[in-house]
Amino acid sequence: QSPIAAAIYPSSKKRDALPACVRVALYLLWLEVMPLEKAKWEPVLAALPKPEDFLNDGGPMELWSEEEVELVECGQLIAEVRSRAVELRAHYDERVRPCWLQESASDGLLSGLDVPSFEEFQHAVCVVTSRAYGDGDAGCGTSSMLIPGVDLCNHADAGQQNTKHGLAPWGDFIVYAGQSIRKGEEVLVSYGPLPNRLLLAQFGFLLPGPLVSDTALVRLDGLFPATGDEGDGHAEASGGVPYNGPATAVSEAHAEALWAAGPGPGRLGAAG
């Protein structure tokens, strides 16, 4: 548990409502402004990506510009990324910033400390989501852990990683060889059964595919004529013919609604 999250949210119910990645991010932000604490953790903090690292090498899609996100041309992925960005902004505006300001006026851990900007908060969260390992059942609560050294290992698709890892009953995070690893050979771990779509969104990279975890996202919007309900000019541009322009969240949501209301799902069910 992050002591900063505990300081900001004395109520465990409110604290647990924060995503684990946000709680760890708050702790990172606190370490950065506490000289004594930062000195103890300096080797770990120095190894974490800086804003310029994400800018130069790629990073979570929440840090991409709108133009870069649109280039993906996957309406579902674009919608998911935008939804996470809105959710993160709400966490900051409605919970993190006001509670930090209130706590900084007291004699607690945040006494006299300036509240981090949204950009600093966003970067810290993206550092955690791109480097942390999770543990626990999603239905019962999960933990988010930064594991120095291990978080430098690259990801391999299912069956191609040469290690296994996990949290031991006594609390240590253990990585062990799943096969013989030669000197000079890269140590590869698994970030989980993630398709390329999620690897791109969360980490900013793709693996040569197809992957074991990959799923096909089929474009539906090109199957239906634009009706004008989308409100973005598709109908006018297409003249009522199927829309074949770049995929957008609006065009795909419109197509999914038409598909759900049509005979297709029933016929597929009958065929199954």
Of 82-91, 107-116, 156-165, 253-262, the range with the lowest mean pLDDT is: 253-262
Q: What are the pLDDT digits (tens) for 33-63?
A: 888 888 998 988 999 999 999 988 888 999 9
Evaluate if residue 69 carries a pLDDT over 60. yes
Evaluate if residue 103 carries a pLDDT over 70. yes
Q: What are the pLDDT digits (tens) for 187-203?
A: 999 888 888 888 899 99
Rank 106-110, 152-156, 212-216 by mean pLDDT and report only the highest: 152-156
CA within 13 Å, CB half, 29: 27
pTM of the model: 0.73
Q: What is the mean pLDDT of the segment spanning 3-25?
A: 75
The whole-angstrom separation of Cα 88 and Cα 83 is 9
The whole-angstrom separation of Cα 27 and Cα 243 is 47
Domain that holds residue 118: 3-140
Q: Give domain status of residue 225, yes or no.
A: no
Rank 98-102, 217-221, 227-231 by mean pLDDT and report only the highest: 98-102
Partners of 175 in the beta sheet? Answer: 165
pLDDT at 236: 43
Q: Which amino acid is at 261?
A: A
pLDDT at 92: 93
pLDDT at 259: 72
Q: Which two tokens stand for residue 74?
A: 């996957």
CA within 13 Å, CB half, 89: 8
Q: Give domain status of residue 19, yes or no.
A: yes
128 neighbors 25 (Cβ within 8 angstroms): yes
Q: Give domain status of residue 122, yes or no.
A: yes
b (16+ CB within 10 A) / e for 129-162? bbbbbeeeeeeeeeebbbbeebbebebbbeeebb
Residue 226's pLDDT band, with cuts at 50, 70 and 90, is low
Who's near 169: CB < 8 A, 6+ residues apart?
none
Q: Which two tokens stand for residue 91?
A: 């966490």
Which percentage of the chain shows pLDDT scores above 90? 23
Q: Give domain status of residue 10, yes or no.
A: yes
Q: Give domain status of residue 106, yes or no.
A: yes
Q: What are the pLDDT digits (tens) for 115-164?
A: 999 999 999 999 999 988 876 554 444 567 888 888 888 998 888 899 99
CA within 13 Å, CB half, 196: 13
The whole-angstrom separation of Cα 116 and Cα 95 is 13
The whole-angstrom separation of Cα 31 and Cα 11 is 22
Under DSSP, the state recorded for 93 is I
pLDDT at 238: 44
CA within 13 Å, CB half, 67: 0
**What are the percentages of helix, strand and coil residues in the chain, rounded to 5?**
50, 10, 40
Q: Give domain status of residue 151, yes or no.
A: no
45 neighbors 128 (Cβ within 8 angstroms): no
227 neighbors 155 (Cβ within 8 angstroms): no
* Domain count of the fold of the chain: 1
Of 35-39, 215-219, 235-239, the range with the lowest mean pLDDT is: 235-239
pLDDT at 227: 52
Q: Give domain status of residue 123, yes or no.
A: yes
Burial (CB < 10 A; 0-12, 13-18, 19+), residue 259, is middle
pLDDT at 246: 64
Q: Give domain status of residue 77, yes or no.
A: yes
The whole-angstrom separation of Cα 189 and Cα 155 is 5
Average pLDDT of every residue of the chain: 80
